[in-house]
Amino acid sequence: MTEYTVEFVGTGEAIEVSDKQTILKACIEEGIAQEYSCRVGMCLACSAEILEGEVTQPAARGLTEEEAERYALTCMARPQSDLKLERGIYPPSIEDDVAAAADAAADD
């Protein structure tokens, strides 16, 4: 098991996260207010932009392949290096979800 430092720019918070642990789980344990909802890689609520470093997140189904290079779904992402993340930054595809939800609401 390897531990990496995950730093959240903007808030200056930094935590140690093992390569076997999701970033979200470590945030919850450390009392960091990371947003989340589904916890299964679908809703994008837990998204963060990757400013530096690499994650593995094969189960992040809510992201396109291209988005997975730049965004981490923290409920699924495990660090592969030290990281700098910006929390609350969402990939472009979240707009599609919002539009679909608005369409569904309009149909009611």
62/106 with CB nearer ligand FES: 62
Neighbours of 29 (CB within 10 A): 11
**Helices assigned H by DSSP within 1-108:** 23-30, 65-70, 93-107
Of these, 26, 48, 75, 83, which contacts ligand FES (CB under 6 A)? 75
Residues in the chain: 108
Report 7-26 residues binding ligand FES (CB under 6 A): none
Measured between alpha carbons, how far is 97 from 22 in angstroms, rounded to an integer?
24
Question: Taking the complex as a whole, how short is the minimal distance between the CB of residue 4 and ligand FES, in angstroms?
Answer: 19
| Alpha-carbon gap, residue 6 to 14, rounded angstroms | 5
Minimum distance, C-beta of residue 76 to ligand FES, in the bound complex (Å):
6
Q: With contacts defined by CB under 6 A, how many residues of the chain interact with ligand FES?
A: 13
Chain residues that interact with ligand FES, rule: CB under 6 A: 36-39, 41-46, 62, 73, 75
